[in-house]
C-alpha cells in the first residue's frame, strides 16, 4: 500500500465527513440486500408454491433456510474478518450475495432453491456481523450512532422494496425476476467496497501503523485528531497483546461478561420483541382478523414504510438522545400498542371501527419498536465489545439476532393457532416489557464514547447502567 498517501489526497473532493457518509452508505448496501432478500419471500412464496406444487411444510423450509444460513454466516465470518480484515470480508460477502441470488432465481427444483437461500443466508448473517463493525471502527465517536444506523435504514429500504414488489408481483413479475433483481445492488456493493478504506483499528492490530494513519486521515478533519485516536488504538492493541487468553476462550473472561450480557441480550430482544415476525406475517395476521387479501397486502406495505421512516428518524436522533434512553422511552408505548391490539381481537372490541383499531395498533407498535430498540440492535454489537473479542463477539451477536429471529418466526403461526392473534399479541407485549426491564438493568449508555473508552470502562469495572457511569469512566482514566 505504498501508494496510499497519494490515494488519500485524491480519493474524492468530499470533505472527511462527507467521505465518511459515503463509506457508510456504500457499506450499508449490504443491509438493503438483507432486507430485500429476507422480505421478498413473502410475496414470491405463493408463486413459488404454485410452480413447484409445494405444501405448507415445504414452503416453511424455503422461507426458513435463509435464517438458518444467517446463523451459520454470522459465526463463520468471525475468522474471515479477523484474518482478512473488515473490508475484504464485506467484498466476499457481497460476492456470496450475487451467487446466492442468481442460483435462487435459476433454481430448477425446490431443493435447489432451498440450498440457494441457505447460501443467501450465509451472506445475510455475515453482513450483519461485519458491516456495522466496519462502519463503527471508522466513525468518530460523536457520529458513530447515526453512521452505523445507515445499515438499519438500508434494511428498511430493502424491506420496503420487497413489499412493493410483493404487492405488484402477482400481476407484473415472475418470482425468478423478483428474487434475481437483487444481483444488481450486490454487484454495486462488490465494486464499491474495493474503493473504500480498510479499518484503521484492524490495521493497528496487524501492526500496520502507517497504513492505519493513512486510512484514518481520510475520515478525520485534523492531524491532531488522527494522532490522538491512533495513539489510543495503539494503547489498547498493546494491552491486548499482553493478554494471555484470546479468541473464543476470551469470551469467558469475567471482565468482558457485562458487555456480553448487555450485547447479546439486546440482540435477542431486538428480534423477540416481534418486529421481523410482524413484517413477515402481517398479511396472515390481518387475514385472520377479517381483512381481505388485498387490504392485508397494502397494510403490510404500510408496515414496511413505517419501519423505514422510523429507522431513519432513529438514525437522526440516536447520537443526541442516547441508545439506552431512546429504548427506555419507546418500549412502553410498544407494549401498550400490543396490549390494546390483543384486547381488540380477543374481546371483539371496536365494533364497526375494529379494523381501524387493529391497523392503528399495528402501526403504533411499528413506530415505537422500529424507532427504538431496532435502532440499537446492530449498533450495540458494533460498539460494545472490546477489541480482544470483537470478531468473535460480533459473530455471536449476529448469530443471536438470527437465532432469535428463527425461533420467533418459526413459532409465530403455531402460537396464533394456540392463542389466537389477540393472545399472541399479549405474549409479544410481555416480551417487549421484558426488553425494557433488561435494558434498564443491564445496558449502559455508550453515546459519545470512543470504542477505546468503552473498553477501559469494562476493564475498570465501571461499565454499568447508571447515570454515574461517565464520571466513573473519567476517574478510571
Could you tell me the pLDDT band of residue 102, with boundaries at 50, 70 and 90? very high
Cα–Cα distance measured from residue 426 to residue 419, given in angstroms and rounded to the nearest whole number: 10
Instruction: Tell me: pLDDT of 7 over 60.
Output: no
Please tell me the pTM assigned to this model.
0.81
Could you tell me the pLDDT band of residue 56, with boundaries at 50, 70 and 90? low
pLDDT tens-place string over residues 386-433: 877 888 888 888 889 888 888 887 777 778 778 888 888 899 999 999
Instruction: Tell me: pLDDT of 25 over 80.
Output: yes
Q: What is the pLDDT of residue 277?
A: 72
Q: What is the dihedral of CA 149, 166, 400, 102, to 10 degrees?
A: -100
Give the 3-state secondary structure percentages of the chain, helix then strand then coil, rounded to 5: 85, 0, 15
pLDDT tens-place string over residues 254-279: 888 889 999 999 999 998 998 877 77
Three-class SS state of 74? helix
Cα–Cα distance measured from residue 425 to residue 414, given in angstroms and rounded to the nearest whole number: 13
Average of per-residue pLDDT across 2-30: 72
Residue 6: exposure state from Cβ atoms within 10 A (0-12, 13-18, ≥19): exposed
Q: What is the pLDDT of residue 470?
A: 47
> Structural domains in the chain?
16-196 (1.20.1250.20), 256-477 (1.20.1250.20)
Report how far apart, in Å, the C-alpha atoms of 469 and of each of 256, 414, 443 are.
16, 43, 11
Return the percentage of the chain with pLDDT > 90, whole number. Answer: 38
Helices in 139-208 by DSSP H: which ranges? 144-148, 150-172, 175-180, 183-193, 200-205
If phi > 0 it is left, if psi is from -120 to 50 it is alpha, else beta; for residue 198 that is: beta
Report how far apart, in Å, the C-alpha atoms of 191 and of each of 26, 48, 113, 433 are.
10, 31, 26, 43
Q: What is the pLDDT of residue 358?
A: 84
Return the percentage of the chain with pLDDT > 70, whole number. Answer: 89
Average of per-residue pLDDT across 438-457: 88
Three-class SS state of 125? helix
Residue with the three cell numbers 465501571: 462
Instruction: Tell me: pLDDT of 126 over 50.
Output: yes
pLDDT tens-place string over residues 458-470: 888 888 786 444 4
Q: Inter-axis angle of helices 29-52 and 16-27, to 10 degrees?
A: 20
Residue with the three cell numbers 420467533: 408
Three-class SS state of 468? coil
Nearest partner of 197 among 10, 450, 452, 4, judged by Cα: 4
Q: What is the pLDDT of residue 169?
A: 62
Q: What is the pLDDT of residue 437?
A: 95
Instruction: Residue 170: count other Cβ atoms within 10 Å of its Cβ.
Output: 12
Average of per-residue pLDDT across 127-148: 90
Query: Considering the chain, what is the average pLDDT of its residues?
Result: 84
Average of per-residue pLDDT across 243-263: 80
pLDDT tens-place string over residues 365-391: 999 999 999 988 888 888 898 877 888
Three-class SS state of 360? helix
Contact 113, 72 (CB under 8 A): no
Instruction: Tell me: pLDDT of 1 over 70.
Output: no
Decide which of 249 and 159 is more confident.
159
Three-class SS state of 216? helix
Within 8 A by CB and 6+ apart from 253, the residues are 245, 389
Instruction: Tell me: pLDDT of 11 over 60.
Output: no
pLDDT tens-place string over residues 29-47: 999 998 898 888 877 877 8
Decide which of 11 and 186 is more confident.
186
Q: What is the pLDDT of residue 171?
A: 64
pLDDT tens-place string over residues 176-203: 998 999 999 999 999 999 999 999 999 9
Amino acid at each position: 500500500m505504498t501508494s496510499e498517501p497519494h490515494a488519500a489526497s485524491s480519493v474524492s473532493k468530499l470533505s472527511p465527513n462527507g467521505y465518511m457518509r459515503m463509506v457508510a452508505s456504500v457499506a450499508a448496501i449490504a443491509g438493503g440486500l438483507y432486507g430485500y432478500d429476507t422480505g421478498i419471500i413473502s410475496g414470491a412464496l405463493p408463486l413459488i408454491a404454485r410452480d413447484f406444487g409445494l405444501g405448507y411444510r415445504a414452503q416453511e423450509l424455503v422461507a426458513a433456510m435463509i435464517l438458518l444460513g444467517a446463523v451459520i454466516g454470522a459465526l463463520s465470518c468471525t475468522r474471515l474478518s479477523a484474518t482478512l480484515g473488515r473490508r475484504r470480508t464485506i467484498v466476499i460477502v457481497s460476492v456470496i450475495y450475487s451467487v446466492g441470488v442468481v442460483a435462487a432465481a435459476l433454481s430448477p427444483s425446490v431443493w435447489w432453491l432451498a440450498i440457494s437461500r441457505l447460501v443467501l443466508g450465509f451472506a445475510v448473517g455475515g453482513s450483519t456481523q461485519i458491516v456495522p463493525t466496519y462502519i463503527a471502527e471508522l466513525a468518530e465517536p460523536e457520529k458513530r450512532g447515526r453512521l452505523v444506523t445507515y445499515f438499519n435504514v438500508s434494511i428498511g429500504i430493502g424491506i420496503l422494496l420487497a413489499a412493493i414488489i410483493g404487492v405488484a408481483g402477482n400481476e407484473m413479475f415472475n418470482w425468478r425476476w423478483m428474487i434475481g433483481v437483487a444481483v444488481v445492488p450486490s454487484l454495486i456493493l462488490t465494486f464499491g467496497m474495493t474503493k473504500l478504506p480498510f479499518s484503521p483499528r484492524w490495521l493497528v492490530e496487524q501492526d500496520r501503523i502507517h497504513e492505519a494513519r493513512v486510512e484514518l486521515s481520510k475520515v478525520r478533519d485534523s492531524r491532531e485528531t488522527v494522532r490522538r485516536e491512533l495513539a489510543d488504538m495503539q494503547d489498547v492493541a498493546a494491552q491486548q497483546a499482553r493478554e494471555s487468553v484470546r479468541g473464543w476462550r476470551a469470551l469467558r473472561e469475567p471482565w468482558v461478561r457485562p458487555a456480553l450480557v448487555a450485547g447479546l441480550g439486546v440482540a435477542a430482544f431486538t428480534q423477540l420483541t416481534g418486529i421481523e415476525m410482524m413484517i413477515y406475517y402481517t398479511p396472515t395476521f390481518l387475514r385472520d382478523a377479517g381483512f381481505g387479501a388485498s387490504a392485508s397486502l397494502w397494510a403490510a406495505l404500510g408496515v414496511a414504510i413505517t419501519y423505514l421512516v422510523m429507522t431513519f428518524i432513529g438514525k437522526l436522533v440516536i447520537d443526541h438522545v442516547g441508545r439506552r434512553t431512546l429504548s427506555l422511552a419507546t418500549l412502553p408505548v410498544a407494549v401498550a400498542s400490543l396490549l390494546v391490539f390483543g384486547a381488540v381481537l380477543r374481546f371483539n372490541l371496536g365494533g364497526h371501527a375494529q379494523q381501524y383499531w387493529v391497523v392503528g395498533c399495528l402501526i403504533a407498535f411499528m413506530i415505537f419498536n422500529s424507532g427504538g430498540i431496532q435502532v440499537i440492535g446492530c449498533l450495540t454489537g458494533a460498539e460494545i465489545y472490546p477489541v480482544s473479542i470483537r470478531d468473535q463477539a460480533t459473530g455471536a451477536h449476529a448469530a443471536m439476532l438470527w437465532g432469535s429471529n428463527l425461533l420467533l418466526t418459526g413459532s409465530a403461526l403455531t402460537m396464533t393457532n394456540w392463542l389466537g392473534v389477540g393472545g399472541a399479541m399479549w405474549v409479544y407485549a410481555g416480551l417487549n416489557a421484558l426488553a425494557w426491564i433488561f435494558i434498564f438493568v443491564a445496558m449502559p449508555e455508550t453515546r459519545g464514547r470512543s470504542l477505546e473508552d468503552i473498553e477501559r470502562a469494562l476493564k475498570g469495572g465501571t461499565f454499568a447502567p447508571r447515570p454515574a457511569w461517565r464520571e466513573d469512566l473519567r476517574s478510571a482514566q
